[in-house]
């Protein structure tokens, strides 16, 4: 059944990628033609290559926000490189000494500049060095004006012609994370009910640690989706896209907290399974209660994997049933504590394990409640 559901999702992703390639190709062609047509009439020799190259770079930025920030960095780097070339040519001429000075200054341009910025400054300066000897001011301003024109064309095309949004990718990554996390919680609950703690605890811990990869992917997708909404003209006509992005961000933050508790539960169960002290073993009564809690927690987390919220009475939702299960477990926990205080029950050696597992369960519920309160 899982395979049957995954096939349509895979087909949908392939269609989306194919459509994205078509859009990127069309935008690239539009930006190229516009940059050439706008700059060629006044460029030297009718060769606006720098404008076209800049436009291509800006129109293929992953978001509108990045196209603007990259344009600013690109123009500033080219300006710095051309000014550096002009100064070097004036002082040393087009010699090897001038090239050496340019390389040293570019490398020491400052710790705040990235290696890419320093490389662009140096390469621009070296390329412009020879041209500055013949026509210093003309060779300085022409490339700058071409860069500005190309950046403007690239940004305009990227912002006005189907600007990129990554809400589908963000939602898919978050749902995939929720699906994996919910499945692991459910499997741990079923395994505890079937008395499979010793045989499966190590595998549960391995799966919990592997959630980090899905967390990283979901975090990157959510960040890119949030960034793609900045200065995006499509969001004006589709205000609900903002709500979708905020929903993904809230859900991811909740799942990130839940993942910490899931790993803590898996680690505690694995440590308990490999503890050779017989008095540290978890009691069957506790395991049965906790197994129910984990299965309900898995069902609650799985609701985040649904594309649309499930309908039904509030008191039958997985989160409310999870609250009931944990409240019942906490009541049982208080009863056992009272029995120990009255001397009716010998204090078990696994008491610290009970406390750790219950703390993780309480925090897991708190993280789910924060998201459920939206």
pLDDT in tens, 205-215: 999 999 999 99
Residues 119 and 244 in one domain: no
> Is the per-residue pLDDT at 3 higher than 70?
no
Residues 143 and 193 in one domain: no
26-40, 63-77, 188-202, 272-286, range with the lowest pLDDT: 272-286
In this predicted model, which residue has the larger pLDDT, 122 or 197?
197
Residues 116 and 249 in one domain: no
Residues 125 and 39 in one domain: yes
199-225 burial, b for 16+ CB within 10 Å, e for fewer?
Answer: ebbebbbebbeebeebbebbbebbebb
Residues 61 and 186 in one domain: no
Most confident of 56-65, 237-246, 283-292, 329-338: 56-65
Name the domain boundary from 106, 134, 160. Answer: 160
Sorted by sequence, the CB contacts under 8 Å of residue 206 that are 6+ apart come out as: none
State in Å, rounded, how far the first CA of the chain is from the last one. 32
Other Cβ atoms closer than 10 A to 134: 10
pLDDT for 2 equals 46
Most confident of 41-45, 120-124, 268-272, 344-348: 268-272
Residues 138 and 187 in one domain: no
Name the domain boundary from 111, 132, 160. Answer: 160
Q: Two tokens at 79?
A: 């300006």
Cα 256-262-268 angle, rounded to 5 deg? 140
Residues 189 and 123 in one domain: no
199-213, 293-307, 315-329, range with the lowest pLDDT: 315-329
Locate all alpha helices (DSSP H) within the chain, ordered by sequence: 2-39, 49-59, 64-92, 96-107, 115-134, 136-160, 167-193, 197-228, 234-237, 240-273, 284-302, 318-341, 351-372
In this predicted model, which residue has the larger pLDDT, 191 or 91?
191
Name the domain boundary from 108, 126, 160. Answer: 160
Residues 14 and 124 in one domain: yes
Residues 151 and 177 in one domain: no
CATH number of the domain where residue 367 is located: 1.20.58
Reported as a single tens digit per residue, the pLDDT across 24-76 is 889 999 999 999 999 988 887 777 888 898 898 889 888 888 888 888 887 78
pTM, 2 dp: 0.73
Q: How many domains does the chain have?
A: 2
In this predicted model, which residue has the larger pLDDT, 347 or 23?
23
Residues 10 and 92 in one domain: yes
Could you tell me the residue range of the domain that residue 179 belongs to? 169-307+315-372
Mean per-residue pLDDT over the chain, rounded: 78
28-42, 44-58, 78-92, 258-272, range with the lowest pLDDT: 78-92
Residues 116 and 140 in one domain: yes
> Is the per-residue pLDDT at 164 higher than 70?
yes
> Is the per-residue pLDDT at 5 higher than 70?
no
Q: Two tokens at 204?
A: 């549960």
Residues 351 and 235 in one domain: yes
What is the Cα–Cα distance from 272 to 348, expressed in whole angstroms?
13
In this structure, the chain runs to a length of 374
């Amino acid at each position: 059944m899982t395979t049957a559901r995954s096939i349509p999702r895979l087909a949908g992703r392939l269609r989306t990628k194919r459509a994205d390639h078509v859009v990127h190709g069309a935008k690239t062609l539009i930006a190229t033609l516009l940059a050439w047509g706008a700059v060629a009439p006044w460029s030297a020799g009718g060769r606006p290559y720098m404008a076209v190259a800049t436009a291509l770079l800006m129109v293929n930025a992953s978001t509108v926000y990045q196209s603007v920030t990259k344009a600013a960095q690109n123009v500033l780097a080219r300006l710095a490189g051309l000014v550096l070339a002009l100064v070097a040519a004036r002082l040393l001429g087009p010699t090897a000494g001038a090239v050496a000075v340019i390389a040293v200054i570019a490398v020491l341009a400052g710790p705040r500049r990235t290696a890419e910025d320093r490389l662009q400054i140096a390469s621009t300066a070296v390329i412009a060095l020879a041209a500055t000897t013949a026509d210093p001011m003309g060779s300085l301003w022409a490339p700058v004006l071409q860069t500005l024109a190309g950046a403007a064309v690239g940004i305009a095309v990227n912002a006005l012609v189907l600007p990129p949004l990554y809400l589908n990718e963000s939602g898919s990554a978050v749902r995939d994370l929720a699906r994996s996390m919910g499945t692991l919680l459910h499997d741990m609950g079923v395994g505890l009910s079937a008395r499979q703690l010793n045989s499966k605890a190590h595998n549960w811990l391995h799966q919990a640690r592997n959630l980090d990869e899905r967390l990283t992917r979901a975090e990157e997708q959510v960040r890119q989706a949030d960034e793609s909404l900045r200065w995006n003209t499509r969001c004006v006509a589709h205000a609900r896209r903002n709500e979708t992005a905020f929903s993904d961000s809230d859900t991811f933050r909740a799942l990130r907290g839940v993942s910490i508790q899931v790993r803590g539960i898996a680690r505690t169960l694995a440590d308990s399974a490999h503890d050779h002290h017989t008095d540290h073993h978890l009691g069957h009564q506790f395991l049965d209660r906790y197994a129910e809690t984990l299965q309900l927690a898995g069902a609650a987390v799985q609701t985040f994997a649904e594309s649309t919220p499930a309908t039904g009475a509030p008191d039958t939702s997985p989160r409310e049933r999870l609250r009931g299960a944990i409240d019942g477990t906490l009541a049982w926990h208080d009863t056992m504590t009272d029995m120990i205080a009255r001397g009716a029950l010998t204090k078990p050696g696994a008491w610290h394990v009970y406390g750790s597992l219950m703390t993780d369960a309480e925090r897991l519920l708190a993280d789910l409640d924060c998201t459920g309160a939206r």
